[in-house]
Amino acid sequence: MPNRHLPEHPSRLVLVGAGHAHVEVLRSFAMQPPPNAELTLVSPHSYATYSGMVPGYLAGQYQLRQAQIDARALAARAGAGFIPDRVVAVDTAAKTLRLDEYPDYAYDLVSFDIGSHPAHRDRLGSHPNTVLVKPIEVAARDVGRALDSAALDQHERSVVVVGAGPGGVEVAFAIAARLRGDAGGSVTVCDRAEVAVRERGERTSAAVARAFDQRDIHFIGQVEVEGVETDGVRLSDGRTLPADLVVWATGAAAPELFATSGLTLDRRGFLSVDHYLQSVDDPSVFGAGDCVTIDSHPHVPKAGVYAVREGPILANNLRTALGAGRRRRFKPQTGFLSLLNTGDGKAILSYRGLALHSRAGWWLKDMIDRQFIEKYSRPELGPPDSSMGEMQPCGGCAAKVGADVLSTVLDKLAIPTAPHVRVGLEQADDAAVFRLPSGEIDETVDSVVTTDLFPPFDADLHLVGRVAAISAASDLFAMGAEGAAALAIVAVPESEAARQASALEALLSGALAELQAMRIPLVGGHTIASESTLIGFSMHGFVAADRVLRKGGAQPGDLLVLSKPLGTGVVLAAGRAGCAASDWVEECHAAMLRSNGPIMRLLVQHGATACTDVTGFGLSGHLSEMARAGGMTAELDLSAIPALPGALELLAHGWRSSFHSGNERTHSTDDARNPLLVDPQTSGGLLAALPPHRLADFEQACAEAGERFWVIGSVAEGSDRPLRVKP
């Protein structure tokens, strides 16, 4: 037989870190996608904090989000997947990245822009409030929390900033401004240098010294910090500086992950790159920002301004490595404009020996910083842009075949019944229920079987695997059943073995983690090579015969309760386009990752009369099914329906999941003003009918168990309409 050639696959380019250079790479790739490339951004933070605006945030001049770039959304606009994890090691021989929590991640090309660490961290001791200025995302959060903490509000706070470089000086000014607006306190800056910001020249150092004096910031120079203890900062001259908060803003130290990589490093451990920002000994590795040293310019300072200017060069050279264009050299500038925020509406402008402290300096800095952030900001929320092309089909439960198509086909088929099947296709419930022949199992227990399968809703296959397991188990929980076993059904694209193994490991490792948490053993399954990725499970469980929850069974007067907010369909759709805030996407993921098992047990304990789970057909579709099954009418209170953050805003601006219109046609309601009712859900909540006299006890049990629910309506006698909506 002739050899069967595997299809050619795009090169896997992984960007590690969302530093200043990488956000420019993503912006460039969003504007002009590179040829034949599969892009991934790996970062522990969805938002990249711009270091130049952090002092302004600490001083109260900005909200934190004003100083941040939504890296997840920017990656989506560039067609890149986003992996929310940290790389801890790189194996250049195997071309894999070892992640902290996720499985190993393979690459063809990799670029690092992960910044640096503060030096001499080994001197940090047991002080309860010590904050490192890097990573900046953590520092911005922790300094703010420390200043707001009740423990520090009991007296005038003493803050010690270790390090008098530009970063440490700006943080000191910001904290001093913050303390003046609060209960007061003192700020001390110490450094081994004789003056602050020595690298910016004598005039700048003198301007900083004058500003320190005006703000009562004490500077101690020519001193080494030997350690940080519970009672304060211990200096080499024998003194101990009392401190309620210590900010460690020392010089740059190299990231640890390069140490075992086998790559060429400089004498301090930074990745050594050439003037193309490419590793000097591995053409598949690139780097920019503070984590690298350019071998032809080893003395370039570790400053954000260089990372910003490296961005366009890095984007070009990565594009060239992917097969398009010509390489460009990076030539660091010999001098640059420096603007130090003094936290009082002024800034110290420093350039080529000139230093000026003025409001004009702050105006210029504020303008430059805001313009930088604006370049990478999400588009204004509005209807989907026609330039995005036709909306891609949604994954997850929104990838269902339409209910009208499904019912038409099933009606044509002559599907036989069997006496031992208690719930089958004729009832169209969430799972099948059957009793094994007498003598083989306790006749008071029924077996419950269901299956669930969908394509990925996100490039993060580990996340997809987790949600797939939870979604499949939800059908068991909707019947009041406990899981007994799971069989996996996985399709991965035809490719070389390494790519298939990587995808399969990501999917199954995520699924297995959630199955173990739900105490459902994975006992087997089936995998195939296909044109696209799919994952699902055949779930098997058991339920006491007299405690089976059904879609039908609700009684007039019962309350309708919902266990999760709605909106996954629209948030995921906008998230894929890079137009939904990362906060919204992460809240959506968190909701999908919440198992319905715990609240199912509480519903059973408190006498729920009917139940289903809300998935691809939306709330109106599943609620209509429940009402028809019981011969009842569901009366829905629009004002009580919970929505995920951002869902209502996106729907109001015209965003829709690709399955939304199918739900509208099949499950229309008498209130077209609320498209949330037909938004298809992935791993949605349980929808149950509960007797009203059991509500108080159920509410208390949920509070004790940390479970949430919403009462969204009630059940009435049947009418010609299964669903009535009250505004």
Structure tokens at 268: 């301090």
Question: How many other C-beta atoms lie within 10 A of the C-beta of residue 370?
Answer: 15
pLDDT level of residue 447 (50, 70, 90 thresholds): confident
Q: Give the CA-trace dihedral at 314, 316, 318, 322, to 10 degrees.
A: 180
Q: For the segment 556-590, what is each residue's pLDDT rounded down to a tens digit?
A: 999 999 999 999 999 999 999 999 999 999 999 99
397-406, 478-487, 516-525: which has the minimum mean pLDDT? 397-406
Q: Report if pTM > 0.75.
A: yes
SS3 string, 329-347, reads: CCCCCCCCCEEEECCCCCE
CB-CB contact of 248 with 121 (8 Å): yes
More confident residue, 523 or 421: 523
Rounded distance between C-alpha atoms, residue 461 and residue 469, angstroms:
12
Topology adopted by domain 420-548: 60s Ribosomal Protein L30; Chain: A; (3.30.1330)
Q: What's the farthest any 2 CA atoms get from each other in the chain?
A: 94
In this predicted structure, what is the pLDDT of residue 434?
Answer: 45
The whole-chain average pLDDT of the chain stands at: 86
Residue of 291, 394, 397, 588 with catalytic role: 397
**pLDDT for 286 beyond 60:** yes
Burial 84-93 (b: 16+ CB within 10 A, else e): bbbbebbebe
pLDDT tens-digit map of 424-444: 545 555 454 545 555 445 567
* Backbone φ, ψ for residue 371 (5° rounding): -65, -35
**pLDDT tens by residue, 169-216:** 999 999 999 888 666 788 999 999 999 999 888 999 999 999 999 999
Is the omega angle on the peptide bond into residue 103 within 30 degrees of 0, that is, cis? no
The alpha carbon of residue 310 and the mean position of all alpha carbons in its chain are separated, in whole angstroms, by 26
First to last CA, the chain: 67
Report pLDDT digits (tens) over 308-351: 999 999 999 999 999 888 999 999 887 778 899 999 999 999 98
Residue 708 has pLDDT above 90, yes or no: yes
Angle at 514 between CA 478 and CA 472, to 5 degrees: 35
- Domain range 11-116+254-335, CATH class: alpha beta
Beta strand extents in 299-420 (DSSP E only)? 338-341, 347-351, 354-358
Can you identify the CATH homologous superfamily of domain 121-252? Answer: FAD/NAD(P)-binding domain (3.50.50.60)
pLDDT digits (tens, 9 = 90+) for 112-168: 999 988 888 888 877 778 888 887 888 888 887 777 764 455 567 889 999 999 999
Q: Is residue 397 annotated as a catalytic residue, yes or no?
A: yes
Residues 6+ apart with CB under 8 A from 622: 612, 613, 614, 615, 687
Q: For residues 502-538, b (16+ Cβ closer than 10 Å) or e, as one string?
A: bbbbbbbbbbbebbeebebebeebeeeeeeebbbbbb
CA gap 409, 725 in Å, rounded: 30
**DSSP state letter for 577:** T
Instruction: Say yes or no to pLDDT of 409 above 50.
Output: no
pLDDT score, position 380: 83
By the 8 A CB rule, do 690 and 615 touch?
no
11-116+254-335 shares its CATH topology with 121-252: yes
Q: Where are the domains positioned within the chain?
A: 11-116+254-335, 121-252, 420-548, 550-727
Q: Is the confidence at residue 597, as pLDDT, over 90? A: yes
Average pLDDT over residues 211-229: 92
Q: Which fold has domain 550-727?
A: Phosphoribosyl-aminoimidazole Synthetase; Chain A, domain 2 (3.90.650)
